[in-house]
Structure formats: C-alpha cells, structure tokens
Amino acid sequence: MISDLFTPTVLLGILASGIRLATPYLFASIGEAYSQRSGVLNLGVEGQMLLGAFAAFYIAKLTDSLWLGVLAGMGVGALMGLAMAFVSINLHAKQGISGIGFYLFGLGMSNLLFQLLVGTVETVRGFPRIAIPLLSSIPWIGNIFFNQNILVYFAFLLVPISSYVLNKTTLGLKIRAVGQNPEAADSLGVSVARVRYFTVIFGGTMSGLAGASLSIALLNVFQQGMTAGQGFIAVALVYFGAWRPWGVLAGALLFSLVNGLQLWIQVLGIPIAPEFAVMMPYILTILVLTLSVSKVRAPAALTKPFEREG
C-alpha cells in the first residue's frame, strides 16, 4: 500500500538511502561545476567515472588497500581530465562531442580491462561505516547523517569548501572570470589556459573519485557499465544547481531521495511497475530543469575555446 511509505521507519530509510546515493553525484557534479564555471563543458564524466571505478576496484583488490584504490581512481580520472583539457584548450575541439568520445573510451577501456584482469563478479570489502561520537547517537537522524562511510562525509564536506573556494578566494575569482570573460581575465594577466587546465583536471579527479565511491564504498563490486548514466546525470545536476555548489547539493539530494523512494517502493512491493519507479527521477529532473533553468545564466564563455587576438 502507498500508505506504507509514510511510516517513520520507511521515511528515515528513504532519507538514509538518499544520502548514500547522493555521494557519487556530489563528487562528479561539484567537479564538473568547477570546469563549467571556467568555461569547459566536460561531457565525458560518465567515462571518467567508469574507468575510475574500475581502477579503484582493481587496485583495492590487488593491494588490499582501499586508500590506494581511491588514489588510483582519482589518478585515472585526473589523466582523463588532462586529455580532455588538452583537446578542449589547445586543440579547440567541440566540447559536446569530444566528451562523447571520452565517454566511449572510458566505457570500452573499463570493460576491456575488467574482462582481461578480473573476468568474474568479485567483491571487495568496502569502506566501513564510521559513527561520529555523540552526533550519531542523536535519535532518528543521528544514524542517517553521522553513521556513514568516510567518502560520504567527504562528498558532503566538498559542498561548503567548494562554495568558499569559488566565491571567496582568488582562485575562485580567477575561475569565474575565465568562464565569464576570458578576454578581460587575460588582459589582467590571468592565464586562461592554466586556470582551465586546473579545473578540468580537478573535475576529472572528482569524477574518478565518484566512480571509486561506487565501486569500493557503496556497492563494493565492479560491473561493466555500472555507472548506468550517472555521469550524464551529474552533468545535468550542474545545470540544475545553476553552477553553484549548494544548488548542486540540492539537486543531488532531490534526485537521490526520489531514487531512494523508488527503491523502497520496490522493497515494500507497492503495486507500481518497477520500471515506472526507476523512471521517476529522470522525469523529475526534466520537470525541474523545465521550471528552473530559464532563470539562470550559464557562464558566458561555456564551451567557447579561448584564443588571444592578433
């Protein structure tokens, strides 16, 4: 019954799954927000996440160290970010298209390496939950917010940090200037290319981390194509959140709460076809984009390569 959804246990369960599920979106979307703020649209997030997820899983399995796995995932993401930065910044490649190329590359490579190096479904023992003393013993919500694995905390910490960096620091000012008016930034002595390299590589690193959070912290397994479109949704969430970290957080939470809701609908056996439940977050995203996006302006130089005149 639908009314089963409105018991406290289920609502808290939805909240808890929502927080967990938001983790990869937060990493990937916040990283993408940096690069879009500086004027580069990276559509290859999905590929970076997949390759990051595989690298993290494989290295964690090989070395028995989750942290080395995290580093591997981030490193692979950073390398793909570097490649994306080079073709976008130096070769002026159309970003909407090169991103598709990097997506296909990440998809193919992660499948290839998985089939060659692992082959069968194997699991890792992922990051354990860490209960934060005192806070985790708050009734009801303590267990949801303060008894998660460490990557979940990192993801949520990234939001205020990024908001501060983008809005209050010189680096943030440079990033925004380069994305808004690269000519002016250049004339003031800001290296447009260097700033963009930084943000795109950082974005790639975060996408790799997002993949790692899937394969060694949330699901603890690698499957081919396991990101299932999450990288593309992460890009959508940046628009959704109007290029602001707090907006991205709101979008990621909304999306993952609806996702959590659909999981519980299936768990409780509520007679809605599971396919329609899975559809809900996507329909919701389109609706929210329809109602919200027209009011905000994208960074003016988004997708435009920069080149000095003369």
Binding footprint of other proteins on the chain (CB under 8 A): 41, 43, 47, 83, 87, 91-98, 100-109, 111-112, 115-116, 224-225, 228-229, 232-233, 235-236, 239, 273, 275-276, 278-279, 282-283, 285-286, 289-290, 293-294, 296-298, 300, 302-304
CB of 295 to other proteins, least distance (A): 9
Cβ proximity of 33 and 248 under 8 Å: yes
243-277 burial code (b ≥16 CB/10 A, e <16):
bbbebbbbbbbbbbbbbbbbbbbeeeeeeeeeeeb
Q: Helix, strand or coil for residue 148?
A: strand
Nearer to other proteins, 2 or 104 (CB): 104
Nearer to other proteins, 136 or 303 (CB): 303
Considering beta carbons, is residue 141 or 296 the nearer one to other proteins?
296
Separation between Cα atoms, residue 211 and residue 205, nearest integer Å: 10
**Spatial distance between the Cα atoms of 15 and 4, rounded to a whole number of angstroms:** 15
Q: Which is nearer to other proteins, 51 or 144 (CB)?
A: 51
CB of 204 vs other proteins, minimal distance in Å: 14
Tokens linked to 164: 């501060």
Which residue, 126 or 281, has its beta carbon nearer to other proteins?
A: 281
Contact 258, 284 (CB under 8 A): yes
Kindly state the smallest distance separating residue 310's Cβ from other proteins, in Å. Answer: 12
State the nearest-atom distance from the C-beta of 130 to other proteins, in Å: 33
> Which helix or strand (DSSP H or E) is residue 21 part of?
helix 8-37
Closest separation between CB of residue 240 and other proteins, Å? Answer: 8
